[in-house]
Amino acid sequence: MDEAVKIIAQNRRARYEYHILETFEAGLVLNGTEVKALRGGKASLPESYARVENGEVFLIGAHIDEYDQGNRFNHDPTRRRKLLLHRREINRLIGRVEERGLTLVPLRMYFRRGKAKVELGLARGKKMHDKRETIARREAEREVASAMKASRQGR
């Protein structure tokens, strides 16, 4: 990637809880103080999700802290925010979300070329055995990495 991306918030739990089938980049419709709060990195995604309503996509439950110098013009931290996608992407999402068990999960929030963006993942929930498998794979990778490190130090 040749363009700079400044990550504001990540939803690490989403990759543990869901199988991510497809990702989409969406713009955010924000109020003035929300942009300043995001530039300060004050956002949280783990409890949020996206929903398609009346042909529009909304981010629900994302928390953007109030701006410190915002006084009475501050925004509501957990308000619904409209997401900007192309019409064909929205139509595709409507078709996919209506399938049984699929949901839209925000994966990360970032600035690209000065614009606030959200990476949405079209996801299917994992079962408990899938989560155990993920944990086992992560631990195995960690053990391999530590063994490699130990073998390099032993030379």
Fold for 5-126, please state it: Small Protein B; Chain: A; (2.40.280)
Q: pLDDT per residue over 70-127, tens digit each?
A: 777 777 788 899 999 999 999 988 888 887 778 899 999 999 988 999 999 999 888 8
Its sign, for the CA torsion 52, 57, 61, 62, is positive
Domains of the chain, residue spans? 5-126
Token reading at 81: 């925010």
Strands (E), 113-152: 115-125
Q: pLDDT per residue over 32-48, tens digit each?
A: 788 888 888 888 898 89
Q: What is the pTM of this model?
A: 0.76
The pLDDT of residue 37 is 85
- Separation CA 102–CA 46 (nearest Å): 17
